Structure 1
Amino acid sequence: MTYTNSPIEKINFNNHEIFVKRDDLLDVDFSGNKARKFYYFLKHDFPNITNIVSHGSAQSNAMYSLSVLCKLRGWKFDYYVDHIASYIKESPSGNYKEALKNGMNIHEEEFPKQLDENTMFINEGGALKEAQYGLELLAQEIITWAEQNCYENLKVFLPSGTGTTALFLQKFLPFPVLTCACVGDEKYLEKQFNDLEKTNHPIILQRKKKYHFGKLYKEFYETHKDLLEQTNIEFDFLYDSLGFIVLEDYLNSLEDNNSKILYIHQGGILGNVSMIERYKHKYEKEV
């Protein structure tokens, strides 16, 4: 498997024509922006490495993708979390359940600061320089598609967690990359950019409302439902719902929009299994 060359589809969402780069379709197991970020570790040789250590939340998309990577490479995978909710332990679902199936060893404690020579540490969310390798390939796919269709006025949009994907896409693309902060605020996202690259940052679109990552919002559920009904594509609750809200606000604010919009579908829909359960519990009567 090459895990590249995902298809691009045209959709119409709330009367806006948008192209969608379907990185969620790269592979059944290894897909989305995490597959792009971790592609370097799949394609390069690490003769001394037998173990991967990472950390984050117990339903992280990166956690699941790393479990797939380690399964493909035959590496042991140790993942460290601050806390695992009791309901997740009692009834495993989503990324947590599937990562355990892939052989992940999860530890409810702080990750070790000292690692042996056979262990490689991968930072939370895949915010690392090596992510450039796979994201440059993604950028080249976008450039080729734009050239074939003579789209010179293209704008690329994707919601951001660490912002790594948006940052490196902007580095390799001749088109403007637009994004919005999903984890933390705009200042947090700018700091994440600066930690990796000091210049040539994507354009951060402002949100009209402050959102707390992982919290349930009725407009997220409604946007997710509208997207599925209008496009027949399942998007992620945590990132894509907010992403389309911000993108729609942006498009509605333009007096004359002659640009083509390419939205990057970054996968993560495995996490929807646990999210929809939470939404049904919170909005049982409405949902």
Structure 2
Amino acid sequence: MFVAIHSPLQSLNFFSGHQVMVKRDDLIDPFISGNKWRKLKYILAEANQNQKTHLVTFGGTYSNHLVAAAAACSRTGLKSTAFVRGEPAENEMLLLCRLYGMQLIFTDRLSYKNKTLLFDQHFGQNQDAFFVDEGGAGAHAVKGCAEIIAELPADIDHLFCAAGTGTTAAGLLKGIQTHQLKTKLHVIPVLKGGDFIADEILKYTGNNDQLTLHTEYHFGGYAKTTPVLIEFIKQFVAHTGLMIDPVYTAKMFYALADLLQNHYFKPNAKIVALHTGGLLGLLGMKDKFS
């Protein structure tokens, strides 16, 4: 299933007078999309190597990771179970999970905080079960995301990505360091208090010299929006034909637009924005666009 795939690099004409390209990881797969494909690639390889047949993971009621994990398991013949944070719910994302055969265990928010304990309580005696952290976070995910750098031109000045946990960003910076590039990585935390992401990245990279966090573009917090962000999405999608989601990629592209408008970069800087997919997140916010 996880054969070598190089997503295309597309020029973007939305930012007048600036050379901006988009790494279209959103085109990798409609359900195992973008960075989810990258993160799961080596996780599933290890599960197979260790002869595990049951993937157990975690996420919220609108988690792109859960849909991706369910789809990946279905295609590779694995069973899948997810601990879902919060009260029992029904929505389009959970429907997709169920259609892919994933068992859902709704878990109160306090219990959900201790994921290892949840796994041990339900699957501790199950030798076939394989623990996968929320969002697929971990060293395997970093390894998968680091491979993006080899698919990009070596002369990029600035690379942008959105961040929730910092795993994708850690992989990108690791790749930049491995290939000894001069590229600066710009990370847009999509939640309040995103400064912790720098520490998460540092765990995998050793130094953050080529990292810049832009923490002021969270628009109220994780999965929060404002009318300004919604209007930006409408204009961006209508003008470019490139779909973006309110949770991750819209905040990244808004940050890039704002920095360009304020002359943050040197003239003729070569900029790439990573489209990490996650477009199913639109389903949880359709009322925002009415």
Secondary structure, counterpart of 1:31 in structure 2: coil
Aligned residue for 1:99? Answer: 97
**CA gap 1:21/1:225 in 2 versus in 1, 3 angstroms:** same
Q: TM-score, normalised by structure 1?
A: 0.85
Read off the aligned partner of 1:71 and give its amino acid letter.
Answer: S
C-alpha displacement at 1:61, in angstroms?
1.0
Secondary structure, counterpart of 1:19 in structure 2: strand
Q: Deviating runs (4+, > 6 A) in structure 1?
A: none
Read off the aligned partner of 2:106 and give its amino acid letter.
Answer: E
Structure 1: distance between partners of 2:133 and 2:203? 13
Secondary structure, counterpart of 2:148 in structure 1: helix
Structure 1: distance between partners of 2:130 and 2:143? 18
Read off the aligned partner of 1:229 and give its amino acid letter.
Answer: A
Aligned residue for 2:172? Answer: 169
Secondary structure, counterpart of 2:147 in structure 1: helix
**CA gap 1:113/1:67 in 2 versus in 1, 3 angstroms:** closer
Bigger drift between 131-140 and 20-29 goes to 131-140
Structure 2: distance between partners of 1:48 and 1:274? 36
Match of 2:68 among 42, 61, 65: 65
Structure 2: distance between partners of 1:170 and 1:79? 30
C-alpha displacement at 1:194, in angstroms?
4.0
**CA gap 1:6/1:210 in 2 versus in 1, 3 angstroms:** closer
Aligned residue for 1:4? Answer: 5
Bigger drift between 200-209 and 30-39 goes to 200-209
**CA gap 1:9/1:208 in 2 versus in 1, 3 angstroms:** closer
Secondary structure, counterpart of 2:49 in structure 1: coil
C-alpha displacement at 1:199, in angstroms?
2.2
Aligned positions, number: 268
Aligned residue for 1:122? Answer: 132
Equivalent runs, 1:148-163 vs 2, <5 Å: 152-163=155-166
**CA gap 1:160/1:275 in 2 versus in 1, 3 angstroms:** same
Answer whether contact 1:56 1:124 (CA < 8 A) is retained.
yes
**CA gap 1:4/1:230 in 2 versus in 1, 3 angstroms:** same
State the Cα RMSD in Å: 2.1
Tell me, which stretches of 5 or more residues in structure 2 are unaligned? none
Please state if 1:214 is matched with 2:223.
yes
Answer whether contact 1:4 1:137 (CA < 8 A) is retained.
no
C-alpha displacement at 1:117, in angstroms?
2.4
Please state if 1:248 is matched with 2:257.
yes
C-alpha displacement at 1:197, in angstroms?
4.4
**CA gap 1:101/1:153 in 2 versus in 1, 3 angstroms:** closer
Q: TM-score, normalised by structure 2?
A: 0.84
Aligned residue for 1:23? Answer: 25
Structure 2: distance between partners of 1:84 and 1:34? 25
Identical-pair percentage? 26
**CA gap 1:198/1:185 in 2 versus in 1, 3 angstroms:** farther
Tell me, which stretches of 5 or more residues in structure 1 are unaligned? 281-286
